[in-house]
Amino acid sequence: MVFPTIGKAVNLTTGFACYPVVLVRNNHIESYTPGRTHGVPISERIARLQGNPKRAASLARARVRLGAWVASEPELQATGGLAAMRLKAGLSQAQLAGALGTSQPNVARMEKGTGNYTLDSMRAWASAVGVSLTELIAAIEVAQVPA
């Protein structure tokens, strides 16, 4: 019998991740832990892409196209307003967080409608994504309406 152990998952963009495995043979427990994990962590891959000006511009254009699509989909308009605004500006959550002086998870919470909004953070968000404060507040109100 083979029982995979519970370990820390590694988010990789290429290659594969090996997890420790516990083998049970004749009531004797043996474990196998692979030596090396192949691949590149996603955060490292994104940082490398963002470091190349051509790749960074390409990522920004892709975000703009994705933002336009999210804004045009009726099913996503209620929940994706803030994300669509960010994407249309060509920004990732991490880039917007840097502009706002906050963390990426806080931006994600705000986009889901569960974050804490201050007037200063809303002004900074509107300025960063190039929309009016009124448009931003309308998108926040839509995101906070229970489904």
Question: What are the b/e assignments for 130-141, b being 16+ CB within 10 Å?
Answer: ebeeeebeebbe
For the whole prediction, is pTM greater than 0.75? no
Is residue 53 assigned to a domain? no
Is residue 120 assigned to a domain? yes
What pLDDT, on the 0 to 100 scale, is given for residue 96? 92
pLDDT tier at 118, thresholds 50, 70, 90: confident
Q: Are 110 and 117 in contact (CB under 8 A)?
A: yes
| 73 and 117, same domain (yes or no) | yes
> What residues are paired with 24 via a beta bridge?
29
> What tokens does 136 get?
């931003």
Tell me the mean pLDDT in the region 91-114.
88
Q: How many domains does the chain have?
A: 2
Is residue 85 assigned to a domain? yes
Is residue 18 assigned to a domain? yes
Point out the least confidently predicted range of 36-40, 86-90, 143-147.
143-147
Which residue do the tokens 């994504």 mark? 129
| 28 and 68, same domain (yes or no) | no
pLDDT tier at 126, thresholds 50, 70, 90: very high
